[in-house]
Amino acid sequence: MKSYRFSFFLRLIIFLFFLPSFLYSQLDDPIYDYYDRFHPVVGEQGMVATQEKKATQIGLDVLKNGGNAVDSAYAIAYALAVTLPRAGNIGGGGFMMIYSAKDKQVYAIDYREKAPQKATANMFLDVSGNVNEDLSRYSILSVGVPGTVAGFEHVLKRFGTKKRKVLIAPAILLAENGIVVGKDLSESLKRAKPRMMVSPAAMKIFYKKKATFYEPGDILVQKDLSKTLKMISSKGSKSFYNGTISKEIAKYMKNNNGLITRNDFKSYSIKERTPVKGSYKGLDVYSMPPPSSGGVHLIQLLNILEQFSLSELGHNSADSIHLYAEAMRVAYADRSKYMGDPGFVNVPSEMLTSKSVAHKIAASISLDKAGNSNTIYPGRYFEPKEGNETTHFTIMDKFGNVVSNTYTLNFSDGSKLVVPGTGILLNNQMDDFSAKPGVANAYGLIGSEANSIAPGKRMLSSMTPTIVFKDGLPTLATGSPGGSRIITTVLQLVLNTIEFDLNIAEATVAPRVHHQWKPDEIRIEKGISQDTIKRLKDKGHIVVTKRAMGSSQSIVKKGNYFYGYSDPRKPNSLTLGY
């Protein structure tokens, strides 16, 4: 009796002792971890992450109305062409990764611009053989044949469920009735003015009378663009590649010594490519193959870094950043020589993404001492077989589909040239070619023969739309703008979530680092501690703090929930879920 009473009291005491923490744990919302400093947006049925609020809302409405991720992507792409003119586009090109839940397949859609038929290898060299950057970046010759309209038409036909007209309607309304100018747009147009002045059609649209500025709160109407969008809405990409719009662009080219002809438009085609596939600690990574260098080098970098215990070394510790820099040094050296349009050159993708080559590279890295870019040369670790503006958006829907899309005009507002009467801003993507072997492009990227200019060739890109799978199901989709920094930004998002177990908000806001072989320096964002910088310098690195890198838009799927986050590095981005 006595012992029974004793054990009853003992149990009661234990129960009362643990009761408060049990009750507290019941108060915890399972979606949030109260140890986390930043929290992602949460959704149960679908999620959209883009760099501009209106476009995000439009994309989410498509999902809510029963559309799938590709329908939503189509609506977003045209909305961004109106609301984010510096990067959203119909006069540019890009890459899209799609996961189709129905056939359990990942697709890589290449709608990159092409060099016109009249393009020549030396078209950007002056009489002394030097690269004329004004020509490759700011002239009518900098324009590649646009691919965006063909790209989105293709994916809508192949994977979409909604009508083109319905999806494009919000963009038409925004162009016709005008958008409220925000601080971001107002400032970007102020910055663009000196270059835009070469294009009277651009000045008419993006500036008020007497070339004065649109200020925050003003309404920006894009009547010509709305006309163009209506044509695309009723006739589809035919109107762009084989009708009125291509006629207008070809006429503008002819009158201004440009190279693009109606035949260039007629012969433009998108390509469905086999995604490049790798793995990191048991998770499968699918990304964009050449003519983007993004996927190949992302996988090469993950393969190298997998050889180290990064999480033990610590997130953004000097040792981890050192290893990133050494791996990046090798990857960007390889990029400079081997990467180009696979329709024109043999790209050794298999070698570059092989685990065994990565082992060799990892083994060559000293943990204590920085390498030297002058002694690292392309292809050092394998025998090759012979022979400021982009934007990303990510969507996941309730059907299990995923879209990860990066598209661009290259620079902010591309070439700054608007084709009169169309409202279309043209890209300056020709600068992504290597104008001369060994001479850097606008992002400091050095290229070679593999990326030289040739008629009909696609210029090499760094865009890295990516989808990561766990046990056969998508768990992370991400991508970013940022020129040469795109690959390393996506790398760090993948490592931050998978290796360091940060939630997607924390993975996004964490300070980023970058090394691209040449210049031989680690570029860092503000937020890396002084003693980390000192330790990196002690290892022999040059460390420079420069402006923020990237504008990622990411979604994670875990259990029944979507967790998303838009990069706060750009002011107007927004993730919404429902």
Residues near ligand DON, by CB under 6 A: 388-390, 408, 410, 429, 432, 461-463, 481-483, 486
* Rounded Cα–Cα distance for residues 140 and 326 (Å): 39
Shortest CB 431 distance to ligand DON, Å: 8
State the DSSP code for 367: S
Nearer to ligand DON, 264 or 432 (CB): 432
| CA-CA-CA-CA torsion sign (376, 438, 352, 295) | positive
Specify the residue, 71 or 431, whose C-beta has the smaller distance to ligand DON.
431
* Residue whose tokens read 């005491």: 13
Closest separation in Å from C-beta 254 to ligand DON = 26
Residue of 83, 228, 390, 422 marked catalytic: 390
DSSP-derived pairing of the beta strands 402-408 and 390-396: antiparallel
29/31 Cα distance (integer angstroms): 5
Q: Output the smallest distance, CB 481 to ligand DON, in A.
A: 4
Query: Could you tell me the smallest distance in angstroms from the CB atom of residue 114 to ligand DON?
Result: 13
Q: Kindly state the smallest distance separating residue 523's Cβ from ligand DON, in Å.
A: 14
The three-class DSSP label of residue 463 is coil
Please tell me whether residue 220 adopts helix, strand or coil conformation.
strand
- Between CA 47 and CA 578 the distance in angstroms is 7
Q: How far is residue 30's CA from residue 465's CA, in Å, rounded to a whole number?
A: 30
> Nearer Cβ to ligand DON, position 506 or 567?
567
Cis peptide preceding 291, ω within 30 of 0: yes
Q: Which residues does residue 405 pair with via DSSP β-bridges, in sequence order?
A: 96, 393
Whichever of 279 and 388 has its CB closer to ligand DON, that residue is 388
Among this protein's residues, is 422 annotated catalytic? Answer: no
Question: Alpha carbon of 433 to those of 95, 142, 390, 459: distances in Å?
Answer: 17, 10, 17, 5
Q: Please state the closest distance from residue 578 (CB atom) to ligand DON, in A.
A: 30
Beta carbon nearer to ligand DON, 432 or 506: 432
Residue nearer to ligand DON on the CB measure, 297 or 557:
297
Contact indicator for 90, 232 with CB cutoff of 8 Å: yes
In 207-277, which residue ranges form alpha helices assigned H by DSSP?
223-235, 237-241, 244-255, 262-266
Q: Which residues are catalytic?
A: 390
